[in-house]
Structures are given as structure tokens and as C-alpha cells.
Structure 1
Amino acid sequence: MQDIFVSTLPKLVSSWVEAFPDALLIQDVLEAGSNLEIVSSYSAALVFWLHINDSQNGSLPAAIASVLRSYPDAKIVVLANTPGHAETLQALSAGAMGYAHAYSAPEMLKEIKTVIHHGGIWLGHQLLKRLIETSVKLTGNSPELVEELLGRLTSREKEVAIEAAKGMSNKEIARVLQITERTVKAHLAKSFERLGVKDRLQLALMLNKK
């Protein structure tokens, strides 16, 4: 998948380059489609990282719409200098598949790409936690089904999945279980695969008991 960063910055941020060495940079947020020259065969495998600074907040829906008009199969992640819950929901409603801090670490950017590549949604940790807390109050599976699902996992995968379903971050899970964040990521990836889920919110809804 080709990564394209849409930003008014004169060059790519170092963390973006470290995460995706072959990434491209284009300057005009609202004219991404007309300014971007890419081989048509790439059109179904593009990831647009839309960098929105504080003065551009109002143009976010238009920027997302502009990209999707030219590349309807592309995946979009919004990168914000000052992330906010309202803007996260605005971005997702407009068609983005992810929302994160513009200066996230390279490893997080790679993780975001993995999640959206598999059809999942990436949200900021605090908003994700709030959505999980709200959602689990409204829905749930039978205890028997939850136990059957957990039975598909190894003991360590089960421990990690249960904590993730509470809305805990990888760092928090690592601290609680006294393992590394890398190990947490590996167990979560395997759990997603075994349970057929795409992201943490779906995992939380699946493992929530009535």
C-alpha cells in the first residue's frame, strides 16, 4: 500500500518517514485528487494521511470528500496537531478510518495502518475507552458465548484480550500483565485473527457479557 501524506508542511515529519520510508508528500489538502500523480494500479491500495492543523479544522470533511471522490477505495487517516473527541467523530462520519495525533510514534503509525488495512477503525485511546464503556452498557453476549470465544484463545491471549476489551491501552496492559508492549501487540493480533474481529471496539462488544 502506498502512503501519501497531505500536509502544508514543507517536508515529511521524521516519524512519518521512519514509519513509511517510501511515503509521498503533497501540499494541498483540498485538492489532493488533482495534485496527485499516481499510477492507476495503485488506486485501490492507497493510504492518505491527512494532516490537519488548528486553522484547518473546518475544512476536514471537504478534505476527506475530495480524496474519496478521486480515490473511492483509498483509506484515510486524519492526523491532528491537537486531537479532540468531536473532531474524531467528524472525521469518521466523513469517511476516515482512523484518527490520531500528528506526531505519533512510528510504531503507532504502523499499527494504525495494520488495523485499517484489515478493515478496522483506529480511534484515540480516550475516545475508544468512552465508546467501549458506553457500548457495553447497551449490548452484550450470553456468558456461554463469551466463554466459548475466550476458549479459542491461549491463556495469555485471553488475559490480554480481556484487558483490551476494557479499553486499556497496550502500555497499560503491558504494565498490568508485566509483559512488553511488543508481546501485547502480538497476542492481540493473534486474538483478532482467532476471533475474526477487526479492532478493539469490536473485540470489546464480542467479549461483553449481558
Structure 2
Amino acid sequence: MKEVPVTQTSQADQVVFWLHMNEDRQHWMQGAIQRIRNHYIEAKIVVLANAPDQAEALYALSLGAVGYSHAYATADALKEIKTVIEHGGLWLGNSLLQKLIEVSTKLTSSHADHVEGLLKQLTQREREVAVEAAKRLSNKEIARILAITERRVKAHLASIFERLKVKDRLHLALMLNQNYTI
């Protein structure tokens, strides 16, 4: 990799570095990205590979690259990549994007199933209270919505915390809002 001198104005922070990988790929890529990052913290880096590989693409992104593509992509494709990353996006390519969507869907549904299993430990009324509490409503608001007393809301919350092994309303809200459709 040719060394680029650091300028006082750091204009290179606004450019895109296109790294064409060839041999000793991962070791070279790590060193090249580190050298660029040492001089140009905000620079955008796109890795171009002769033989693209999904694992390598993920590794490039983990090192701070914002794009990964085939080295022999068309000029139009390279322009599109540049446009996407200049607007704050990541360029992954269709096959990697589809794989990430597939994996995240499996993880999300698996974790959601786990949370659903936890919620099945609760009575119907406790589930209703838990869902309302996860919306950050006060005990008074929950009582009004569910037409029960505040004292009953507090009793349900105590039972919910114990059964789900959560410490407080915040923990409950985080668990439900991340993994359960409210």
C-alpha cells in the first residue's frame, strides 16, 4: 500500500479509500486498514477482493471498512458503492446482505420464542400488566387502562419480577421491548 502523507486539513478524512486485496489477504487487510485509520480516523474504506468471501467481508467490516465488493465490479457498481457510503450506508453485496438477514431473523425469532416462553409463566393479567409496564406507564396509568387498583398492579409487578427473574421495571421493559411485539 502506498503511504499517503497526512495533511493539516485532514481532507483525506472525507475521501474513500479503495483497497484492492490480493495475497495474504486478512493479514494485509488488517494492516492496511489500521494504517489508514491511524492517519485518517473518519476515512471511508472499501475493500475490493478478486475472490470475494462472506467471512472475509464480515472481517473487513469488523476492522472498520464500510464496504466490500468484487474487485472487478463495473464502473456503475463502484459509483453506486461510493454514493451509498458517502450517505452513511454500508455496502455488503446482495448475497452477504441476504445471509445477514437470514441469520438475524433466525436469532430474533429464536430469542422471541424464548421470551414468549417466559411470558407463558405469567397469568393473562400479569402478561397484560407486564406489557403495559414495558411501555413505561406508571402504576396509576396501568391501573386505569386495565380497570384494576394500583395496589393490584404493584402485586402483579412483584409476581412478574419474581417469576421472570428481573430486578425492576427497566429490566422488564428492556427484555420485552427488544424481544416482544408490544
TM-score scaled by length of structure 2: 0.54
- Report the counterpart of residue 98 of structure 1 in structure 2: 67
Kindly provide the amino acid, as one letter, of the partner of residue 61 in structure 1.
Answer: Q
Q: Which has the higher contact order (CA 8 A, sep 6+)?
A: 1
Deviation at 1:65, TM superposition (A): 0.7
Residue correspondence of structure 1 range 33-182 to structure 2 within 5 A: 35-36=4-5, 40=9, 42-139=11-108
Tell me the percent identity.
50
Matched-pair contact (CA < 8 Å) for 1:98–1:116: yes
* 1:101-153 deviation digits (Å, cap 9, x = unpaired): 0110111111111111111111132111110111123338xxxxxxxxxxxxx
- Unaligned stretches of 5+ in structure 1? 1-28, 141-209
In the comparison of the two structures, how many residue pairs are matched? Answer: 110
Kindly provide the amino acid, as one letter, of the partner of residue 64 in structure 1.
Answer: I
Change in 2 beyond 3 A, CA 1:87/1:98:
same
TM-score scaled by length of structure 1: 0.48
- Unaligned stretches of 5+ in structure 2? 110-180
Matched-pair contact (CA < 8 Å) for 1:100–1:124: yes
Distance across 2 between alignment mates of 1:42 and 1:53? 28
Which one has the largest radius of gyration?
2
Please, what is the CA RMSD of the aligned residues?
Answer: 2.1
Greater fraction of residues in helix? 2
Q: Secondary structure in 2 aligned to 1:87? A: helix
Kindly provide the amino acid, as one letter, of the partner of residue 71 in structure 1.
Answer: Y
Kindly provide the amino acid, as one letter, of the partner of residue 34 in structure 2.
Answer: A
Matched-pair contact (CA < 8 Å) for 1:80–1:100: yes
Distance across 1 between alignment mates of 2:50 and 2:7? 27
